[in-house]
Amino acid sequence: MPFTRKTTAARQLPIARKFSIISPFLLTTELNSVHQATARAHPNIAFIKYWGNRDSHLRLPASSSISMNLDGLFTETTVQWSARQTSDTFVLNGAAQFGAPLTRVSAHMDHLRQRLNIIDKAHVESANNFPTGAGVASSAAAFAALTVAAVVAAGDQLDERELTTLARLGSGSAARSVPAGYVEWHTAKTHEESYAETIFAPDYWDLVDVVAIVNTTHKARGSTEGHSAADTSDLQPARIAGAAGRLAACKTAIRDRDFDAFAQVVEHDSNLMHAVMMTSRPPVFYWQPASLALMQRVRDLRADGVRVCYTLDAGPNVHCICVRDDAAEVKAALDGMSEVIETLTAPAGGGVQIIARR
């Protein structure tokens, strides 16, 4: 059993009942029969990466990570618990899902059913306001929104820390999309201790992610599979050994709003993760020639005094992190490159919000 159940008798949600909910998302409210809720969550970009698990079933990461939520980009997910349904159903961007996507959502609903102690199945509808394959990890926002919508729809009240641990079971990086702003997700040996928390509010430092899209096709290898392959790289132990030091350096750089120190550690950490990916067996190369051209352009811009650095997730698109005052110049420089299909611009964003319930 992955985590502790609070009660033993499974419940079916009653047709009508009164709840008094106090949560970070809702004021104290008397609700009739809360069975449906809609949550909105932002994707996040990691400055210090998560790559590899110490426990892949519980998605306990091999090292701690730091990210920033991406404002303006979001996933909205509605969960409706229903005693009438005999299985979970899932609609993504208006299209009914079957096979692997439905299985993954349903497996996450099993975790939530166990924790919430309910037996009902759920209808889940989710939509992203950013293009699929845009190089923005949609699973983080998706599982953050799904988790919080499901808990609120069931009329339950869990604190933010526990919500991050539950989101983590669906997709590791989803833990970081629950709290607001700049977020640290802790590596730990147990489910309860591997949680995420805000380390700086979104307005603490005006960083902006200008995402340069160079390719919109699907990933060479999904991240769940990639995490499992990380240990096959000879470089992963060295990457993990230095992770705590890089995390501390990144936190200090954000605290001091020291862009030079920030750029050094963020680019180094991204390069290390990609070195592990390329040396895993079998290897996976997410960088494409266009990615390398952009990384070089970013370094040149920085040499000219523009406060920008790069980081890449499990894909070829390049996240160019810059200070707000330099964002227009960065965007213009990237838009002028033949390799760039389009750019998306996102400042630091808030945490998960409940936007509807009944």
Positions that interact with ligand PMV (CB under 6 A): 46, 49-51, 65, 137, 139-140, 171-173, 223-224, 227, 313-314
To the nearest whole angstrom, how small is the minimum distance from the Cβ of residue 5 to ligand PMV?
25
| Strand spans (E) along the chain | 18-21, 29-32, 36-41, 44-48, 53-55, 60-61, 65-69, 75-82, 89-92, 95-96, 121-128, 182-185, 196-200, 207-213, 308-311, 318-323, 342-347, 353-357
- Residue 36: closest CA among 119, 123, 108, 103: 123
To the nearest whole angstrom, how small is the minimum distance from the Cβ of residue 241 to ligand PMV?
18
Token code pair at residue 288 = 């494409």
Burial class (CB in 10 A: 0-12, 13-18, 19+), 293: middle
Q: Which is nearer to ligand PMV, 45 or 153 (CB)?
A: 45
Q: Which is nearer to ligand PMV, 139 or 187 (CB)?
A: 139
Q: Which is nearer to ligand PMV, 25 or 51 (CB)?
A: 51
To the nearest whole angstrom, how small is the minimum distance from the Cβ of residue 178 to ligand PMV?
13
Parallel, antiparallel, or unpaired for β 75-82 and 95-96? unpaired
In the numeric block, the tokens 């990384």 are attached to: 295
Q: Which is nearer to ligand PMV, 23 or 311 (CB)?
A: 311
Q: Which is nearer to ligand PMV, 227 or 307 (CB)?
A: 227
In whole angstroms, give the CA distance from residue 349 to residue 346.
8
In whole angstroms, give the CA distance from residue 179 to residue 110.
23
Q: How many CB atoms lie within 10 A of CB 54?
A: 16
Contact (CB, 8 A) for 139 and 32: no
DSSP code string of 147-204: HHHHHHHTT----HHHHHHHHHHH-GGGGGGSS-SEEEE---SSTTT--EEEEE-GGG
- Residue 160: closest CA among 143, 177, 172: 177
To the nearest whole angstrom, how small is the minimum distance from the Cβ of residue 311 to ligand PMV?
9
Q: Which is nearer to ligand PMV, 6 or 57 (CB)?
A: 57
Q: Which is nearer to ligand PMV, 13 or 174 (CB)?
A: 174
Helix axes 138-153, 99-116, angle to 10 degrees: 40
To the nearest whole angstrom, how small is the minimum distance from the Cβ of residue 40 to ligand PMV?
19
Q: Which is nearer to ligand PMV, 173 or 194 (CB)?
A: 173
In the numeric block, the tokens 């009914």 are attached to: 96
To the nearest whole angstrom, how small is the minimum distance from the Cβ of residue 67 to ligand PMV?
6
To the nearest whole angstrom, how small is the minimum distance from the Cβ of residue 314 to ligand PMV?
4
To the nearest whole angstrom, how small is the minimum distance from the Cβ of residue 104 to ligand PMV?
11
To the nearest whole angstrom, how small is the minimum distance from the Cβ of residue 315 to ligand PMV?
8
Q: Which is nearer to ligand PMV, 173 or 233 (CB)?
A: 173
Parallel, antiparallel, or unpaired for β 89-92 and 121-128? parallel
Q: Which is nearer to ligand PMV, 36 or 139 (CB)?
A: 139
Contact (CB, 8 A) for 142 and 150: no
In whole angstroms, give the CA distance from residue 323 to residue 205.
8
In whole angstroms, give the CA distance from residue 221 to residue 155.
37
To the nearest whole angstrom, how small is the minimum distance from the Cβ of residue 276 to ligand PMV?
10
